[in-house]
Structure 1
């Protein structure tokens, strides 16, 4: 038997991919290979129920680990596995203590970390984070981790259930992560809409790193989970997930890079690499092939430069066999701690399901004496395949001659000195630049800038100075050292209250002016950037504003307090939907107190009955977006969530996302809204070209100019409806516009909660995130959000539409430069930078955009005027 296990391990390593079905060895809680010092806990009830007594099938002490208080997120049992481990199974027991104990955890969560600093929450492939625990104090319950995780540190966190006291004994199963890969970075996966087939999503749904600027950074996911994709990428092996789940895939013409995908791999230590194995799809009948060639560069240390000479390898393309296959890339025993590889396209699509590396560091013969001496584990299991018994596989560590710490200390000292020198050089350059600009920026006083947030006004300020005689105070006397940036602008910003007195149009209602009076049939060709039409309706209300911070981090809507009172006096009008009929498909985003999930709603059309807002689905399942409040949400977040439900339930417009039903009879609270099958407008347009004979001839996804105009009209119509209710959206952009298959647009508010669009928001340390590239100058500098500022954002949204979302607004400006540009808008001395006119945009429509970006609020059009101006273009 032991020889058989050894052969399995050797075969797995030789093949280049770890197999979760065989990587199920006890890691040493029960037999003591994990030492007491490596088992810690947040607290313990008595010394005899400390973490060292949490070993499976052992009865030392009082029989188990028991936390001091009832289970909560603050209580955990932590295990240090010593090395990176491929963890596949977790087993738990309660406290039996030879018939004297009856405490156990009915459910628990799992957190993990590869470095002991950054902790991540495990969730299964359906998005659930809670695992079923024990039903009594003596029977062991085994839970397979789908997906498995690569980690060194593990925390088991009991979940409160029926308010019972908990105690735990634990065993962990897996095997050593010999690959050594600790993170990979790559472009985010994309969506395919094959004719006659459901939408296929090739995103890395289990990736545990960051999502920034549409890139995956610093984590691991489906490329290292041991699951090989099938030949047909629209099929999945199990788990009832969406088509394309097993693959991370990219389309050639939708990437900014010229015909390749660049990935970076970081390892736990410097290794001598012999080969890389990439499992790639080759269904050429659907435009998918293995990569045509690959070039890899090597970096010996994290702080070193990439070596100039790459290793290149050209594959032999196969147009006969559509089977997915491993492609082995020789790496010529090059030594490195990091690799950067460029995989070149051979067709429209390229898809990977697994990537593994082989190096000369793997030493399998050392397994022979260890495997033969490990005792057998006995337990009752709820799994069909129980964990195997084997030791922690490890390679021998190199001997330490005593000089290594000294060398490391010298290197660290040198590095710190270099960092300090570089910092001083950069600081001197920055000070010189500020002094060069001082004649225009600063007169004789320190200045303060107000930078708006969603919930309050954030003040970025320099240290205050005492006011001089005859001068206004320079700002509040309290300083906050935690702000990231300080912007030095004109002295007119010394006191925002004084600034408002200088600008009467900001302190009075924006009533109609003499700029054309009432507008019935506007002619946009007569509208100049400084002479734009508007109606007699006020742009915004000067009443108190209630700003609901959406639980997922999104803005929701800002509405006058009187409107909220009138909307929330009644009970929730949305019907209660059975939550067991919601089937998880994908997590769309998350915020501080909640998450947004893409789900299938079984039987929803029948539940809603006649008059349902759902379109004809032709017998297909109904996709919905589910906002869910987290269990640890504050009472304020819970109240805001219920208010958001009440407000959303009253919104009724063809171009505003609809609240369909709710799940509020029990926790977690959920609201179910429409979700359009074509996703958001930004992703939809960025994957298309303007319609032409070339796109038709080559079957390239395209969109017509008429389609773009129709989309613009729909957005203006939906915003007209919100403006009629004095609702201020505050985050209007293409990422917040959803489309169905008939190109019907619904305005939503999910954008801020999605990692995909994190780069569209400017983060103020510890406070808020702001979509500054879409915000009017008065919103950024004065914290003023009105319907007129939504009009400004609508102009930027039009610009996005007619550039097909190929670039970010003001893409050549940094975030700081965008904020500085708002000061130029206020000064209005001709130095402000406008967005350029998109080549696809008719001149009259670009003039309309310029009207939306007028410096003075009364000069901006209303949404009703915009709708009337855009509507005739659709019929042309």
Structure 2
């Protein structure tokens, strides 16, 4: 019926794997996540003007960092910031010394130096070569500069610049996001000139490269291939102003010495990584003799001084002579472990042009590295690549020379040692084969963040504390365990939006009569309005209700959740229906998250399928242990936290639906109290879809992960089925989105709620000062303006979730609107004067399905469908 949709190519985005326009989060100067010990300076005037006081909007000490004495034009005094990890910096904000009205010092101009290793320092320049940035004009205002090109660095130095002898003081903040690729440098042949009759000067060089240019070779730096900006289909057009044609691409011609058969590039990373794929954004304007590469071969080495492994990963593309669009080509890297990668890209035509290169890798390094001593047999767990035959093109870039006879004893000793190590490794692999396979599928990168699922019930508590599904390597947290608090958007909301009372002032027409009308619409929450509980629609509408509630603190952290007032009394073991699991059969492997009173751990549960018996939700493991998530109450938890923990278990044990995360068993006969839930090793739906393209001939030929239109419809049906079940119990989810839909090994979707606690999705939430973190882009207008959360507002969020699914999660809802504009748009929904902005129809979405989305976003609650109706409307579209 919609077969033609399978042939639609995804239009290339304006930005690469990191979007510089959205990667704009405060990195921790103002809120203290960057500690004092990470701030140093070349000098300071007094102890009270040291580098620790250089925090934006803070008035500690004497109000700012001030270098010693009068600053001269020739001085290079600096403030140094250590971010503790590589970051992608897109914005820099500065402020003078206000000192509660007593300060007079500020920097009118400044420069930035940066370093990725703390040894080699580079000077930032804009795309036109200018180094000096505009500073402040007074002591109190914040002035921000966009960094174009962005900076990829761990260390940053701020160097105030003055034209006259004067006193200078500064406060600063850095904005950006973690650099997940971990790439610290790439080496490549220098870009070349193209001659066309109507374009006398087409330079395809890497104009922002910050490494060494020597003998037509680029080495030791990063540049346009990692700036987040992809080139257009027509490489003669650029996304930048006042630059030359071809600026966005690095290009080579096949008749130039050094690049005749192939272009060789070397990539160096911050640490040993387990690589899953490489993405190369390549131009394909074949009318100008430009095509994507025909094939690529990549070699690996685990540390920088090692020799290259003998066996490469090779990949051949299916050339496209019909579609001239630039596109990402995904090259599988088969989970090879390496610190450095060398790739040869082979020409398919006269020219080859790249604008972005990125890598996807897993933080957990698995024993999948191939032997380096000449064995070509793939190790256990490696995938076999189908490649085009290549003659002498896949020889290793460098080979070890024959050893002298005098080194024979040393070589024999090394071989014996290696053989013994291999025997030990094989034994370990056989022993933990099952566990390794599961872990390989789940890149666990967020180790210390709290993960919660919070649902509100009209008749009882529902707080689901579930294990986090570790995010993909894309997009976060990289490398070291990230315990930072949530990022905040740099765009600040009007202070009137900080609580519901001020929201009414922002929209004067939101009067008591309007609120009464809203209550009549069927939703109520006693802390905002005095609507009568258990109000309902007419006979044609669904029943939405909430009871009187009190507010309690979540056991594992900062989330507030609703508990009916009648259930606050203490609970005992007899109130819990979940079975008691032997504690000694839980083998703790690692901590997944923690909060104020509890922790979440990844564990092996020995004999769990047999313990659960017939009807177990777990697959048959032949007696082997399975991975589960265990939430454990701390020994120092308060009696209130203990009571809440038991309430949580009671409610979770009531949920029994194939599309809802499930409580398996508990350990509450002794301390510490524990609950055991399913572990979802295949990640969340947002991760899953954003790594895929719509199924087509091209995706099959290039082994690109893909999904079909039928797959997307089946996902929508599963989510609607799970929400139908929750609605039947009068549970209100409050945060339905693809990030909160988990997938098990059979790709069954289970609804949870932990996106709020993960930095990966921090940009999906708006933090209201002193209150909560809200997913405003998924929230109904009445939830934003009145704080009303009902099944009807969940229906609104379901419509946005459908929109995410049919855009393959390639962009954020209302991506062109800032957070404050999204909130203002909710006011337009309330006014209903035809000025509200709706999400556009995704190209993959059938018209009838988009009409269903629009009904979910109806201004009037009574016009929105029920989840039962949504399920019945979606189910016929799925091939049974």
Provide the TM-score with structure 2 as the length reference: 0.45
Provide the TM-score with structure 1 as the length reference: 0.45
